Amino acid sequence: MPISYFWSRAFLTSRWLLWLLLICNVLGTIYGYYWYALQLEYTLLHWPAWMVVFVPDSPTASLFFSIAIAFLIFPPRSRWLKGIRALFEALAVVTSVKYGVWAVTMIFWGAALGDTLIWQDWMLTASHLTMAIEALIYVRFFIFRHTTLVLALGWTLLNDYMDYSQGIYPWLTEQLVLRLNQVRNFTVALTLASALAGAWALWQAREERKWNS
């Protein structure tokens, strides 16, 4: 079996692999929301309840990707469901790439400033890198277009605004809090870069389809 098979549509969209991805991402999403439990409780006590939507960044990205994979398993037929599918796919790509890279950067930035890495940091590094990689791998099978990509960018920028204007950003180590302006600037720049990565991957997928047609 040639190694190229593992990059093929037949392999990557096989139902057993899609179901495995869905189960792993759903479990990761559940764990991610559990990870944010204390911050969610703190936010509900000190801010309006509606702001809690903007608190759990990575698990929400994982939720978006889970929904996108579910749509690959069960493709919708109606036009409005296809529109919903496209929106969730765009959200999945932008947020998974953004928060996958963001979390890993924060972990090693903190370590460079003197924080001690523990086993959970390595687990989070592996899981968040996987988030970013799987989104870029599966973008070629998604149906979203640039319009929905812009909507996903808008949502993610709104999340950044809420995080850093209202102080509901993911809890950081003391060393990173002292550099909060730098963290904010990096976060916004990463949002824009993630949208550009999504647009590039979308263009690459179109070119591949043209080449194979």
- Calpha distance 71→103 (Å, rounded): 27
Q: Which pLDDT value is given to residue 191?
A: 98
Nearest Cα neighbor of 72 from 156, 126, 139, 166 is 139
Number of domains in the chain: 1
Q: Which pLDDT value is given to residue 212?
A: 64
CA angle 45, 65, 194 (to 5 degrees): 85
C-beta separation of 163 from 102 below 8 A: no
Q: Is 167 left (phi over 0), alpha (psi -120 to 50) or beta?
A: left
C-beta separation of 21 from 137 below 8 A: no
In one letter, which amino acid is 189?
A
- Calpha distance 130→128 (Å, rounded): 5
pLDDT in tens, the chain (213 residues): 678 787 888 999 999 999 999 999 999 999 999 999 999 999 999 999 999 999 999 999 999 999 999 999 999 999 999 999 999 999 999 999 999 999 999 999 999 999 889 999 999 999 999 999 999 999 999 999 989 999 999 999 999 999 999 999 999 999 999 999 999 999 999 999 999 998 988 787 776 766 665
- Helix, strand, coil in percent for the chain, rounding step 5: 85, 0, 15
Q: Which pLDDT value is given to residue 4?
A: 78
The dihedral built from the CA positions of residue 133, 195, 96 and 18, taken in this order, carries a sign that is negative
3-class DSSP assignment, residue 156 = helix
Domain of 143, in residue numbers: 3-212
Q: Which pLDDT value is given to residue 57?
A: 96
What are the DSSP calls for 157-200, one per residue?
HHHHHHHHHHT-SPP--HHHHTTHHHHHHHHHHHHHHHHHHHHH
Q: Which pLDDT value is given to residue 130?
A: 96
